[in-house]
Amino acid sequence: MGQSSNDVIPTAIHVSAALAVRRELVPALEHLRDVIAAKETEVAGIIKTGRTHLMDAMPVSLSQELSGWRTQIENDVARLKSVEPRLLALAQGGTAVGTGINAHPEFGARFCKELAGLTGVPFVPARNYFEALSTQDTAVELSGQLKVLAVSLMKIANDLRWMNSGPLAGLAEIALPALQPGSSIMPGKVNPVIAEAVAMVAAQVIGNDTTITVAGQSGNFQLLVMLPVIAENLLESIRLLRNGARALADSAIAGFQVNKARLAEALDRNPILVTALNPVIGYEKGAAIAKKAYAEGRPIREVAAQMTNLSSAQLEKLLDPAELTTGGIKGGGGGGG
């Protein structure tokens, strides 16, 4: 009396997902956010070559780069929390088809009150039981937010892999913690295994989202029949992302070391620094200086001193990498990007 598998199972999906997100995933993401923030402070003042299209671009500080990662995670937490008003609404009380047949009219509300007391989570009856039984739109929505989080983690993981690449023929901007002996055939080779594991986690979650999306279309009239596969994939995604976020925080970001000499060397030879001279000497002259500096392997400051009337003091001020990370128009004038 008072229940059907048709309202119990949708309820169980919402309850289990809500508890897993609140108690496991969000705390893991907040931990990752805090680890990134601590690393931002640790690397304050370190300037590096920015990259667009994987090509040298204007300088950024390492802290600015990490702040982008941190903001991704902060936005991901906000997205997960935005789903809660619908995730905490339960199907219990709709019984077989949403009419509440064989259930006391107050059963759904009393059930949610009792469950809220047991869990500390403010569950409420669904606004419409017919929707709650015949769809899993909220599970699809939550899965979509988990997919966004997976995309964020893959982006961060791949940035780490690129920055760690080398140690001689890659970027070698950082050294990730060595967690394994290395290659099975090449002694001394240290692979970015945590970043690669997180990228695989992200790939799995993106695949799970596709499965949940297809399953979410399978509500026919008063019942959605693919509940088991939705439950399995949704909870797996939450578990994988929880573990991946903590591994990325504790075994990759917290312990990476910065190769300051390599960053400084690349920055000094970056021909794109000439962009800062555009308001003073114009785009065409800047392009000519950049091409010459790159072709001859010489610092921009040295070539610009030969090809312009700017003094050493002016060039030092205009091409100061730290100053260039603050934005704005340098040297007066105007222009576009």
328 CB-side CA count, 13 A: 9
Residue 164 is inside which H or E element, if any? helix 137-164
Q: How far apart are CA 132 and CA 137, in angstroms?
A: 9
Q: Is the dihedral of CA 190, 195, 198, 204 positive or negative?
A: negative
DSSP secondary structure string for all residues of 197-230 = HHHHHHHHHHHHHHHHHHHHT-EETTEES-HHHH
Q: How far apart are CA 20 and CA 80, in angstroms?
A: 12
Residue 174 is inside which H or E element, if any? strand 174-175
In which region does residue 3 sit, left (phi positive, over 0), alpha (psi from -120 to 50) or beta (all else)?
beta
Active site residues per annotation: 53, 183
CB 156 within 8 A of CB 65: no
Q: How far apart are CA 43 and CA 173, in angstroms?
A: 12
CB 304 within 8 A of CB 271: no
Q: How far apart are CA 198 and CA 181, in angstroms?
A: 19
Helix axes 137-164, 227-248, angle to 10 degrees: 30
Q: How far apart are CA 80 and CA 144, in angstroms?
A: 10
Token pair listed for 308: 């312009």
